[in-house]
Chains A and B, each alone.
Chain A
Amino acid sequence: MFYRETGQFKVTYAADQQIFPIRQDRIGVALLLFAAFVAVPAFASEYWFTAILTPFLIFALAALGLNILTGYAGQLSLGSAAFMAVGAYAAYNFQVRVEGMPVLVSFILAGLTSAGVGILFGLPSLRIKGFYLAVATLAAQFFIVWCLTKFPYLSNDSSSGVISLPGIRIFGYEFASPRSQYLLVLTIVSLLALAAKNMVRSTTGRAWMAVRDMDVAAEVIGIRLMRTKLLAFAVSSFYCGVAGALYAFCYLGSVEPDGFSLDLSFKILFMIIVGGVGSIIGSFLGAAFILLLPIFLDVALPGAAALLHLPFDNATVSHIQLMVFGALIMFFLVVEPHGLARLWQIAKEKLRLWPFPH
């Protein structure tokens, strides 16, 4: 009833090709952006900014990066955390070693550095596929972390290998408060998400999907495999690199190589699996699910236990939290193997027919 496109006529090609061809979607997205940029900063508390919203956006960006590689181009990767590490350390080095380097430029350079490293580790993808490629990217994961630990130059000769990031200052404005950092991250993530959405709708994205679906067929119709695959690795690593730089600068403020472990790579992989492989919105939904659900359970379970007078101590609650979390992942994957994004799509289709489904 509310979500129906009857009467919306597209009379130009531009109108037909826009990202959100349905008016309700456009209004919805506008409202969402308004909420994110204006309403949330006006009302949210510091805890929400630093512990929930900022990390959510950063991980959504990393998941988006992996989704481009795995979801659209079909190249399985287990090295996302390592590419984040490259981004974080590159941004730090550009910032510390080059006098007067603007922060935004060092973020972009960090992304480019990460893209370069990504291309390097993407080379095996020209010969190997599927699970074997996953193992090859695993090498990236271990090599990069080892490299950052091994060479003190990369951490500016810090005796412990831990780097502590300088503050963010853009055009004389100090991004010190959690609110301003959230807005900075939100702006960057929105722009990159928009770029990603357009990229996957363009020739590049179609080439990626063709390679994903069947690379021999793609090659036969004239898509250059090497270029396409390496471009996917480059773009994906660029996104992960920027996410890593934001993770270091705007979220933790201090990072060590061990923080970018295989665990983190898996976490990002789970985000896109739960959220939806090959979907932009899925990256956001997946990041929200994997990141926010444990926090919600953590807050809600002790309260619920107290309410029901169950004798749970802190350790038991933590264990229950892990179990519930695991059970929910399985539940969602059984109900909808294509992830939360697919659920969202089904919901939209149902809404179009509602209230007369037959």
Chain B
Amino acid sequence: MFKKTKQFAIAALSAACVVGAFSTAAQAADDQYFMLPDYRVGPYGANGASWYGGFIDYLTYVNMKGGIDGVQITWDECETEYNNAKGVECYERLKTKAKDHPGPIHVMSTGISYALVDKTAADHLPLTMMGYGLTSAVDGSVFPWAFPLVTTYQMQASAIVKFLKDKNGGSLAGKKIVFLYHDSAYGKEPIVALEAESRLNKFGLVEIPVAHPGNEQGAQWQRIRQENPDYVIMWGWGVMNMTAIKTAQKMGFPRDRMIGSWWAGSEEDVVPAGDAAKGYMSATWNVSGKGAPLIADIEKTVYGAGKGNLSDKSKIGTILYNRGVSAAVASVEAIRTAQAKFGKGKAMNAEQVRWGLENLNITDARLKQLGATGLLPEVKTSCDNHEGSGKVKLQQWDGAKWAVLSDWIEGNKSLIHPLFQAEAKKYAKEKSITPRDCAAEAKKK
């Protein structure tokens, strides 16, 4: 008898699960739907939680202010754990729901975005990769559906070189720069750009890889001490960053000659390193803090109403949180751009959103109007430039907060963009894609 009851209980529970699974599937037809393959558990869970917290808070904020010209935003999250296979599964699960009125898809993982570039192109869904992902997608003629918005690793590396050049009175000739990188797709992307820059500016470049996860860097820093470079540019991720900063201190390398990428420049990277991190610099495209009126307003409006996404409110205003907000701002602006052309107050379909992303024009005036000054540089995209900006700021950790060091610095576009086009051409050949004719399309308009 007992056995029967147990079986019945199990059966009832599974039935409840199945029913529950399908009851959430309904979605109002005229909403703009964002699929969010995000991550809040796993090794990078903390980063994902801040970034997607900012993203979702902004969407909630827009909804509370009446939506995008009256169009409400809905979304579903799906946990990817920063794992490529899980990311693909999430994408496949949510894509049928997204096919009518999709928002731009953000996956916050280079690996997942690589896996999705072909799939989104085949399914005609817009994929955005803000500050990560397949950088050759800057060439929109080969990648109509992929948008490495704002800036790419290569342009960032070039901007850092420019910053150093200006700091050294306009020339880096004869200087030596060590490039310390996470030995993965992410860390290797900027090498071509740095090599091109070193040929152009005649500085010596030494490349030193750090194997994942990078929690032991004695050998690398020993080598750096031997090389005795003028600067160390660092492309680190996660635990590698704080280890590098601490080891630099141990080896006596001044931190104010270390410059990190924008994934090596958040509070999570410097706070655990303690005093050692004082003076350490990094690139970023968004400022931290609650100085931007938008961030303060989100905190007041969204958290005031108890609808905030973060359980830990102290994360509001961190670099990654603000970056999530900036990604959401760009996405919503793309939909607004599309609405301005295809009809205000209507939910946009995939092709219209794609058009919006490709004709994005976020000016400083518009950013000021949104209260988002400092969260984004000006962005203006086109068919042959899906990046739209290529500008970053440099910031320095003063022991308590990130202080902005510079105005927007643009990388050397005429040097870097041809690299993207060459890569894109190779890609088109491997995949037998016929590129669009951007010049002809521009003329038609």
Contact = CB atoms under 8 A, between A and B. Distances in A.
Interface of A: 45-47, 50-52, 55, 96, 146, 149, 159-162, 164, 166-167, 176, 251-256, 258-259, 295, 298-307, 313-315, 317-319, 321-322
Contacts, number: 124
Contacts of B81: 318
Task: Sort chain B's interface into a size bin.
Answer: 35 or more
Contacts of B96: 45-47
Contact of B427 (A55, A164, A301, A305): A164
B79 interface: yes
B185 interface: yes
A166 B111 contact: no
B184 A300 contact: no
A300 B17 contact: yes
Given A258-B184, A258-B212, A313-B311, 15 more contacts: A45-B96, A149-B209, A159-B189, A161-B184, A161-B188, A164-B114, A254-B114, A254-B117, A258-B111, A258-B185, A298-B78, A303-B21, A304-B20, A318-B41, A318-B79
A301 B16 CA distance: 10
B64 interface: no
B28 to A, nearest CB: 17
B118 A254 contact: yes
B84 interface: yes
Chief secondary structure at chain A's binding surface = helix
Contacts of A314: 38, 40, 77, 79
B89 A159 contact: no
Given A96-B430, A164-B431, A299 B184 contact: no
Chief secondary structure at chain B's binding surface = helix
A322 B41 contact: yes
5 contacts: A46-B92, A47-B96, A164-B430, A176-B122, A300-B17
Interface in B20-44: 20-24, 38, 40-41
A256 B187 CA distance: 13
B85 interface: yes
B111 A149 contact: no
Nearest to A47: B92
B142 to A, nearest CB: 12
Contact of B17 (A164, A295, A303, A322): A303
Contacts of A55: 85, 89
A307 B85 contact: no
Q: What 8 pairs across the A-B complex have the smallest Cβ distances?
A: A303-B20, A300-B17, A315-B40, A160-B185, A51-B92, A303-B21, A51-B89, A318-B79
B88 A252 contact: yes
Contacts of B405: none
Given A256-B114, A318-B79, A166 B431 contact: yes
A262 to B, nearest CB: 11
B21 A256 contact: no
Given A51-B93, A160-B189, A161-B184, A167 B431 contact: yes
Given A159-B189, A167-B431, A298-B79, A303 B19 contact: yes
A253 B430 contact: no
B185 A162 contact: yes
B181 to A, nearest CB: 11
B365 interface: no
B227 to A, nearest CB: 20
A223 B349 CA distance: 67
B115 A254 contact: yes
A194 to B, nearest CB: 27
Contact of B24 (A96, A176, A302): A302
A159 B23 CA distance: 45
A310 B16 CA distance: 14
Contacts of B92: 46-47, 50-51
Contacts of B188: 159-161
A307 B19 contact: yes
B439 interface: no
